[in-house]
Structure 1
Amino acid sequence: MAGWWFFTSERRPLVDLLCMLYGLSSWLAITGLWMELPLLVHALPEGWALSASLSLAIQLGNVGPLLYGLGRYFWTRVCTGPRALSVANHVQLCIGLAACVVLVCGWKVTAFVLGRETSLVLLIAAFALSIVDCTSSVVYLPFVGRFREVYMTSYLVGEGLGGVVPSLAALAQGLDEPECVNETATYRNEGVNDSADSQERVVTVLRVGATNFEPEVFFDVLLLLVVLSYVAFVLLDNFKSFETEWQEEFRQQVTRHRHVISATREAVHLNALPVGKENEWETWRQYPEAPLTQNDAKVFFKHSSSTQRYYIVLLAIQTWASLLTFGFLPAIQSYSCLPYGPRALHLSVTLCGVAYPVACALAMFVALRRLRHIWAQTLLGTLGASYITLTAATSPNSPFVDTDAGAFLVVFCWVCTFLLLSYAKTMVTLILTGHGENALFWVGACTQLGALVGSLVPYVLVNLGVFVERDHCALYN
């Protein structure tokens, strides 16, 4: 019966659909923009190092959840509660819309920064999109958490579809194998203008394969996903008929404070508001919901020591899996896959984008919630990540390079690693969904912490020259 989750009487299909659409914009920079990496590395001045620069720009978006977290701690009444959550969603989605428009119009624009030509517009747009990505972990999850637990899986499926749709677009875009062609280049002796002193040489150059459509069309797809997500959020946030699908605790909280608002308004109308309560009334007028107090914010950890350890282990797994899938591995993807050819990179990027929603869908049918199962998935995923790191560290002479078996193995390893770690993250999220908004906030915070740390390490290694590009027109095996 688990497979018929969508058709049960316990849920409303329209809310399921809107939760899916809402999740489309949650990881656009990582699972959306990243799909164009195989094309961008050949079109922009950074070359292979673009993956590390792009990964760092994306993780700088952690300034979003950092500011949000500080606001929750220092301005609890203002920065918690449904109204604050709604405002945060509007800000995020507007930033996402603006970033996608900038990508469509100016992704090719470069500028010299510190004496080096840089894809400035692309990196700025990636940073803006990453604010949406990073903050979604601490804003989107709690927003969906106000609805009944059955809708969390729908949101996670939508979150995954935010990677599937760009993946399908990237597959439709296609990428022909590059060709090594001979061209004649003319060299002149310095300071001599006489053509007799010039020399002609035949050089082998790489000619990049053709695509079915330009990156601008792909970025239009990302823009459409943000629009759909925004529309879904507005409907979920404003349609009163959906209040029947709220968590019982959240419904009681809102109902209680609506009574407070009504009583306060009546007191104001009768000029009976107690002296000294004017500021309190002004706060209720602007933020009439029930914000968390600082004591409420700690309720997630008010359990027995064994339960606390269980939660800490789950959050540690979430951090480690996010470090690998959102930070470290994407940053070295070009060095891991390009030694086997652009098609290997293209397939690994697009299929890894599909792996996350597949993991979410699998969680609907096979929910392995026992800790030992989650540990096993994380361990196997870590072993796969180790082989991926080996292929990047040994570039250009990676294992089984210039063989079909080597290309198949590296793509297979990438897909399996992302599938295992994504499933583990999904299980952690589903387990902690029933423990309130604050539990989901910590899931999001750990996700972003792992992603940030994971992107910093390879960025440093790339700039230290640890990873080496290969000449595609040379044989290494």
Structure 2
Amino acid sequence: MSLLTHVLACLFGMGSWVAINGMWVELPLVVTEIPEGWYLPSYLTVLIQMANIGPLFITLMHRFRPGVLDERPVIYCIVGLGIVATFLLAFFWRQTMTIGGSLHSVPLLVLTFLLSVVDCTSSVTFLPFMMRLRPQYLTTYFVGEGLSGLVPALVALTQGVGLVHCQNATLAVVANQTADNATMVGSGELQAIYQPARFSAQVFFVFLSVMMVVSLVAFILLNHHPSVARERKNDLYFSGDLAPGKREQGLSLHAQTPEQKPMISHLESKREAKSSFGKGTYSNLELVFIFVVLAWVNALTNAILPSVQSYSCLPYGNKAYHLAATMAAVANPVACFIAMFLPIRSLFFMGFLTMFGTGFGAYNMAMAALSPCPLLVHSASGTAVIVLAWILFVLSLSYVKVTIGVILRDEGHSALVWCGAVVQLGSMLGAVSMFPLVSVYGLFRSGDACNTKCPM
């Protein structure tokens, strides 16, 4: 294996969801300067689900016109679109237009939709492209995918997004001398003051554009660098002369003696009888289990729990929220590293780990439902538990996602296409189920960062 190829696969994976992840972590700075305000997260949820038209088209092409669509031109197009959209976002995110008598951030919404198309489509194009490399590089790709959330989060922390401090309202009046704040003089209440960012949202979006450029350069080198090309050329598994299924069968038979080949052929025929999907390694029931678990963990990690993270963490304080968000982002690539050195493909262990992570997710959801007065809200132990719950939730379910990706990678190209499609399906179902609960019916309540009073 080549260290250069590992680095390129990681940098390529960082371009998968970096744009949308970056938009989410930048929300506290953006919403204060646009007419949509804190309704923007609801709009983002809808736009991301509308963007699933990209994965739907790719999946249908692979289903009804197999072999016609090559992922590489599609990847060049979507990554190029991501570079342009993030760069334009840096200069036009504040611009507004009047529609129906009210102001709307049309450029921001349109560019965000284009970025959503880019990131959603990456799920069904980046993974199948990784089929061209050795299986070990797929885990490295997942590390990069995890970093696509971690790196923007760390940059946003450096930027100081969303940090507040509590100040006596009377002092705020003296500082601001505004009529609106004058009504709070003598009230004795505290006022949440957002600290100014160290650099602007424009710089942050330019940084996202640079990350997309890095991903594109890594993709170009994965296709054309001599060491990567030589590695594929010298390995029978990656020979382009045979179909994927025949390549794998040919490599397996190549390693056997003539006396063993009839037995291998017999075993292969029995496998094919189990299932027509991929190489026939798993039965139909096992495949249903794998895809249901895949949809479930992506619904939880990509939509359901992120939509209530602020409700579950902010009652414990702003520091608890940022620590939980950052450490959970770190847990994703850490899980990929663990899967790289300790791969366990047991379906039983996968089910156990899924239940383990779901349990911590249920605790996080319960604390969000109890907001603004969750359990142990006034104690350091409560803060430690909620941060630990988020870390273990992301760590366990990220390991499950990587394991399923590696399993389906061994089943062939079409399996990875369906893997990406199910990832998007699970995320969509999770977002659709949570949107009315959070944004329409308002079942979750957030407390004042400075004035919420809860019983001891």
Instruction: Give your verdict on TM over 0.5.
Output: yes
Q: 1:315 to 1:200 in 2, by over 3 A?
A: closer
Partner amino acid for 1:251? Answer: S
Q: 1:386 to 1:120 in 2, by over 3 A?
A: farther
Q: Name the counterpart of 2:45.
A: 55
Q: Deviations over 1:281-330 (max 9, x none)?
A: xxxxxxxxxxxxxxxxx9525637x6232222112111110001111112
1:32 is the counterpart of 2:18: no
Name the CA distance, whole Å, in 2 between partners of 1:89 and 1:249: 23
Unmatched 5+ stretches in structure 2: 245-274
**What is the deviation of 1:438?**
0.8
Q: TM-score, normalised by structure 2?
A: 0.81
Q: Name the counterpart of 1:470.
A: 447
Q: Name the counterpart of 2:236.
A: 248
Q: 1:353 to 1:455 in 2, by over 3 A?
A: same
Q: Is the 8 A contact 1:27 1:159 kept in 2?
A: yes
Q: Name the counterpart of 1:294.
A: none
Q: Name the counterpart of 2:79.
A: 93
Q: Name the counterpart of 1:295.
A: none
Name the CA distance, whole Å, in 2 between partners of 1:377 and 1:41: 37
* Partner SS for 1:72: helix
1:177 is the counterpart of 2:164: yes
Q: Deviations over 1:368-399 (max 9, x none)?
A: 22122211211111111112212222222333
Q: 1:303 to 1:92 in 2, by over 3 A?
A: same
**What is the deviation of 1:149?**
1.5
Q: TM-score, normalised by structure 1?
A: 0.78
**What is the deviation of 1:101?**
0.9
Name the CA distance, whole Å, in 1 between partners of 2:300 and 2:42: 14
**What is the deviation of 1:111?**
5.1
Name the CA distance, whole Å, in 1 between partners of 2:442 and 2:352: 34
Partner amino acid for 1:376? Answer: F
**What is the deviation of 1:421?**
0.7
Q: Is the 8 A contact 1:62 1:131 kept in 2?
A: yes
Q: Which of 366, 375, 385 pairs up with 1:409?
A: 385
Q: Deviations over 1:31-60 (max 9, x none)?
A: 433232444455555555544433332233
Q: Is the 8 A contact 2:5 2:222 kept in 1?
A: yes
1:394 is the counterpart of 2:370: yes
* Partner SS for 1:210: coil
Q: Deviations over 1:405-454 (max 9, x none)?
A: 33333222222211111111011111221111111111111111011111
* Partner SS for 1:223: helix
Q: Name the counterpart of 1:167.
A: 153
Q: Name the counterpart of 1:195.
A: none
Name the CA distance, whole Å, in 2 between partners of 1:212 and 1:454: 34
Q: Name the counterpart of 2:336.
A: 360
Q: Is the 8 A contact 1:24 1:160 kept in 2?
A: yes
Q: Is the 8 A contact 2:164 2:192 kept in 1?
A: no
Q: 1:65 to 1:255 in 2, by over 3 A?
A: closer
Name the CA distance, whole Å, in 1 between partners of 2:311 and 2:109: 20
Q: Is the 8 A contact 2:223 2:229 kept in 1?
A: no
Name the CA distance, whole Å, in 2 between partners of 1:303 and 1:369: 16
User: Which stretch shows the higher mean deviation, 407-416 or 90-99?
Assistant: 407-416
1:150 is the counterpart of 2:136: yes
Q: Is the 8 A contact 2:19 2:208 kept in 1?
A: no
Higher CA-based Rg: 1
Q: Is the 8 A contact 1:65 1:138 kept in 2?
A: yes
1:344 is the counterpart of 2:320: yes
Name the CA distance, whole Å, in 2 between partners of 1:111 and 1:227: 30
Q: Name the counterpart of 2:63.
A: 73
Q: Name the counterpart of 1:335.
A: 311
Name the CA distance, whole Å, in 2 between partners of 1:443 and 1:179: 46
Unmatched 5+ stretches in structure 1: 1-10, 188-198, 257-297
Name the CA distance, whole Å, in 2 between partners of 1:239 and 1:432: 27
